[in-house]
Each structure stands twice: as C-alpha cells, then as structure tokens.
Amino acid sequence: MRRPSRLLALLTVPVLLLGLTAGVAGASVIEDYARVIRSRHAGATFVQVDGCRQVEVFVSAMDGTFGARGGRVNKQGLVGVFYAERDICVEPGPKGYPITHSADGMSLDRLGTSPRFGAAWVRATIPGFDSEGNEVSIGLDLRWSPLGAFERSRVSGNAWFPASGQRGAHVHTFAHGLRADAMAWGSVSLDGQEIGLAPTSDATLEQVRYFCQVIQHPHGGFDVDC
C-alpha cells in the first residue's frame, strides 16, 4: 500500500545550490566553506483489521544534525503521521473502501536512535486535525529494528563553479548512505484512546552522511552554498 503523498520520505538528499553572482576583483573576499550533515529516517505503514474496521497508520520520522565550519551544530527533527479507519463491510469505491474517520499531524519531535542505528524509536504527542477539522492529539509510541544488514551507497563529486574553472570555487562533495528493511511495532492513540499496532515489516531505516567543502580561487571567487 502506498503512503499518502503528504508523508513521502522526509529524508532529502542534499542538493548543491549555486549563487547567481560571481566574485569581482576588489570586492569583499568570499570565504572558503564546509558543511557536514547527518540525517536518519524511519518510516512505517501499519494496516490491521478488527471486524469491519480497518485501521491504517502511516508514520515518517527523522533526526538531522547540521554543522558548518566555524559555526554551531544544529539539530532538527520532524515527525509526520496519518491515521485512517475504513469500513470494509461495504462495497468498495474507485479509491477502495470508504474512510470513516481520519486524522493527521506533524511536529518537530526527533527520531531517537542507538549509536550504530540498530534501533530507532518515536515517543511523541503530536497536535493535528481530524477529517472534520477538529483539533486532535495523536500519540505515538513506536520502535524500529533492522531486519538485516544495511545496504551501503556512496556518491561523490568534484567540480569547478563556474564550469570554466579559471576563477571561481572548487567544490568537493560526498554522501554515504545506509538503508535496511525493518520491523516496526508499538501503539498509536487518538485523544487518549490507544490502539496497539501489530509488528509490520512494511518499514525502513535510512541514513545519509553528507560533506561539502568549497575552496575559493585565490584571485576570484564564486558564491556557492552547499
């Protein structure tokens, strides 16, 4: 079952953003620059049936750490959840069985993880709204565990901006990725009414470590943000 578009993976591979103005001789010097990012993400889909009621829960959570040379380290989290109940005892329509109740929410809570990423968890109370526009409180108590070894990936780049390379910035980048299918389990609650969620293997754990270094030409420069 595909997750709703609002809960597409929160983990985004960092993209190099180029400034529009090159340095001019005699103008202020554009400094060298470096940035390091580590982002971890966990996602899960739960679907379970109790009589005529089918409960669906889609969860996406991340924890990011961002740092630049000479600057402070910033940490940021994001958790999104979508909850739906369907009546599976009636005739399904073009989009499947009708949704009788739904709610969604998002918060800046952070995904908790063990040092080697062998476990992840979310314990948070998220403000949200139901399908009628009423405010609701969505509680999450979930855990993830990888089902096997992490798949590894690596991407690197080395280029001049502008492309002529006569004067500008030399940019070095690399990204290391980890991904594993996972088992997720726990509970969700709506306004204090808790529902236990059976373990699901429709879950993933992912990590990206990203580094970018910008070295300016000694006789010129190019404003690059990465």
Amino acid 15: pLDDT: 35
Give the residue numbers spanning the domain of 91.
16-225
Claim: this prediction has a pTM higher than 0.85:
no
Neighbours of 60 (CB within 10 A): 25
Side-chain-facing half-sphere of 214: CA atoms under 13 Å = 23
Give the Å distances, CA to CA, from 113 to 39, 63, 109: 11, 9, 13
Per residue of the chain (226 residues), give pLDDT as tens. 444 433 433 333 333 333 333 333 333 355 666 778 899 999 999 999 999 999 999 999 999 988 876 667 889 999 999 999 999 999 998 889 999 999 999 999 999 999 999 999 999 999 999 999 999 999 999 999 999 999 999 999 888 777 765 678 888 889 999 999 999 999 999 999 999 999 999 999 999 999 888 888 777 667 777 7
Amino acid 34: pLDDT: 76
Which tokens sit at 92? 């399904």
Is the residue at 220 inside a domain?
yes
Is the residue at 75 inside a domain?
yes
DSSP 141-203: EEEEEESSPPEEEEEEEEEEESTT-SSSEEEEEEEEEEEEEEEEEEEEEETTEEEEEEEEEEE
Is the residue at 51 inside a domain?
yes
Is the residue at 60 inside a domain?
yes
Is the residue at 2 inside a domain?
no
Amino acid 30: pLDDT: 59
Is the residue at 6 inside a domain?
no
Is the residue at 111 inside a domain?
yes
Amino acid 69: pLDDT: 64
Amino acid 190: pLDDT: 94
| CA 137 to mean position of chain CA atoms | 22
DSSP three-state, residue 8 = coil
Is the residue at 4 inside a domain?
no
DSSP three-state, residue 66 = strand
Q: Are 60 and 45 in contact (CB under 8 A)?
A: no
State how many domains the chain has. 1
